[in-house]
Amino acid sequence: MMIERNLVIVGGGPAGMAAAISAYEQGVNDILLLERDQYLGGILNQCIHPGFGLDYFKEILTGPEYADRFIKKIRDIPQIEINLQSLVVDLGADKTLTILKPGLLQQVRAKALIMATGCRERTREMAHIAGTRPAGIYPAGLAQKLINIEGLLPGKEVVIVGSGDIGLIMARRFVLEGASVKAMIEIQKQAGGLLRNVIQCLDDFDIPLYLCHRIACIYGKKRVEKVGIIKIDDQGNDIPDSHFYIECDTILMSVGLIPENELIEMAGVAIDRKTNTPLSQELNKTSIPGVFVCGNAFKIYDLVDSVSGDSGQAGVLAGEYLKKKN
Ligand SMILES: Cc1cc2nc3c(=O)[nH]c(=O)nc-3n(C[C@H](O)[C@H](O)[C@H](O)COP(=O)(O)OP(=O)(O)OC[C@H]3O[C@@H](n4cnc5c(N)ncnc54)[C@H](O)[C@@H]3O)c2cc1C
């Protein structure tokens, strides 16, 4: 049986929640929010460190605290129906979604659609690092989930590849959990993450940051044993005789994020191949009228405060689209 809804939002992270609330405030009713996880909040649930909300709430909050503000608000709006454990597996050009729920496959047709599906992490394979394929190599955000949500420590002697914010936050997290973070390796001339994170997560814990260095090779049979590191010059060439090794049992990859846009691509939305984002001149719009994208799926944001602000705009756009259509 096909169900029809005015507005469907895919993704219950900060972007999806902000878009849903703003669409409701625009007068849209009959909103369905779909989230594959068992809880709302998206990636914020695993970000238990402070540093969220300074712009949006003028307060410093942890990720779960920030998410909770939106969760409380959205749960108070009866016109927004929330379906958890609802994974969208297919999307057609006519905005028909196929949803996998526990023991059930369902189809919903949306008059307007907002995709707030976030992003995924780049892997070791994408960074083209030579060597063996032992256990102990984790994307940094996955390691964060293992520690902060599952209560598992993935390793004790850690080398981090890449100096983006997730890697920086995880350097501090591993030290606080009793592990030794031996080095952070960055190919660029400067750290990729926010300066405040470099100071608070590396400098304060005496973790060495090797700029203009790259991991040349990973060694280890069953488990990571060591990494080979090379210094590079201004042209990006290896500097002869600069090779050295660091022994470790764990490597964290913090080498970038890829927006999750496979569903809209399936529906025929034009995609920028370099960034995996919708080809668009305007914030949150796509090449299919009535299909909007917000949050990290539209572009990778440093701060969740900007995600919340910009995603509200997606709710406004969806409201305007529905007014014209009806
Ligand atoms: C490790 C880490 C540290 C960070 N630290 C900070 C910080 O200190 N300060 C700060 O301001 N920001 C920080 N951020 C950034 C901030 O958390 C993100 O910008 C924000 O969470 C992005 O929101 P989003 O809703 O776009 O994506 P997400 O939070 O990823 O939410 C996307 C949601 O969509 C759901 N979804 C995806 N596909 C489907 C599907 N097919 N069907 C149903 N549901 C689906 C996912 O389950 C998820 O709940 C950090 C991010 C990370 C990863």
pLDDT per residue as tens, the chain (326 positions): 789 999 999 999 999 999 999 999 999 999 999 999 999 999 999 999 998 999 999 999 999 999 999 999 999 999 999 999 999 999 999 999 999 999 999 999 999 999 999 999 999 989 889 999 999 999 999 999 999 999 999 999 999 999 999 999 999 999 999 999 999 999 999 999 999 999 999 999 999 999 999 999 999 999 999 999 999 999 999 999 999 999 999 999 999 999 999 999 999 999 999 999 999 999 999 999 999 999 999 999 989 999 999 999 999 999 999 999 87
Q: Does domain 123-253 have CATH number 3.50.50.60?
A: yes
Query: From ligand 1's centre to the CA of 49, what distance in Å?
Result: 14
Closest residue CA from atom 35 of ligand 1: 11
In terms of Cα–Cα distance, which of 140, 145, 117 is closest to 44? Answer: 145
Ligand 1 contacts CB of residue 307 (under 6 A): yes
pLDDT for position 326: 75
For residue 35, give the 3-state DSSP assignment: coil
Q: What are the φ and ψ backbone dihedral angles of 118, each rounded to 5 degrees? A: 70, -150
Say how far apart CA 75 and CA 326 lie, in whole Å.
Answer: 27
Helical segments of the chain, H only: 14-25, 63-75, 140-148, 165-176, 195-197, 262-267, 304-325
For residues 171 and 147, the answer to whether their CB atoms sit within 8 Å is no
Cβ neighbours for 274, distance < 8 A, ≥ 6 positions apart: none
pLDDT for position 208: 98
Q: How far is CA 53 from CA 60, 74, 126, in A?
A: 6, 18, 32
For residues 282 and 169, the answer to whether their CB atoms sit within 8 Å is no
Ligand 1 contacts CB of residue 215 (under 6 A): no
Query: From ligand 1's centre to the CA of 35, what distance in Å?
Result: 12
Query: From ligand 1's centre to the CA of 295, what distance in Å?
Result: 8
Q: Tell me the best of 304, 306, 308, 311 to mutate to test the pocket of ligand 1, counting ligand atoms within 8 Å of each CB and taking the most.
A: 304
Query: From ligand 1's centre to the CA of 54, what distance in Å?
Result: 17
Closest residue CA from atom 8 of ligand 1: 51
Query: From ligand 1's centre to the CA of 67, what distance in Å?
Result: 10
> In this structure, what DSSP letter does residue 238 have?
B
Query: From ligand 1's centre to the CA of 16, what distance in Å?
Result: 10
Q: What is the pTM of this model?
A: 0.94
- Token output for 283: 């914030």
pLDDT for position 2: 83
pLDDT for position 102: 96
Q: Which atom of ligand 1 is nearest to the CA of 49?
A: 8
Rounded to the nearest angstrom, the gap between the alpha carbon of residue 262 and the centroid of all alpha carbons in its chain is: 15
Residue with tokens 């196929």: 98
Q: Which atom of ligand 1 is nearest to the CA of 66?
A: 11
Say how far apart CA 214 and CA 217 lie, in whole Å.
Answer: 9
Say how far apart CA 192 and CA 161 lie, in whole Å.
Answer: 11
Sheet holding 157-161, edge to edge: 137-139, 250-253, 157-161, 180-185, 209-210
Ligand 1 contacts CB of residue 14 (under 6 A): yes
Ligand 1 contacts CB of residue 114 (under 6 A): no
Query: From ligand 1's centre to the CA of 117, what distance in Å?
Result: 8
Q: Which atom of ligand 1 is nearest to the CA of 300?
A: 19
Going from N- to C-terminal start, the domains of the chain cover 2-120+257-325, 123-253
pLDDT for position 76: 97
Q: Is the dihedral of CA 259, 265, 269, 274 positive or negative?
A: positive
Ligand 1 contacts CB of residue 167 (under 6 A): no
- Token output for 290: 């009535």
Ligand 1 contacts CB of residue 12 (under 6 A): yes
Give me the architecture of the 2-120+257-325 domain, per CATH. 3-Layer(bba) Sandwich (3.50)
Residue 274: how many other CB atoms lie within 10 Å:
6
For residue 66, give the 3-state DSSP assignment: helix
Ligand 1 contacts CB of residue 88 (under 6 A): yes
In terms of Cα–Cα distance, which of 310, 266, 265, 259 is closest to 284? Answer: 310
Angle between helix axes 14-25 and 63-75 (nearest 10 degrees) is 30
- Token output for 13: 């992270």
Q: Is the dihedral of CA 51, 57, 59, 61 positive or negative?
A: negative
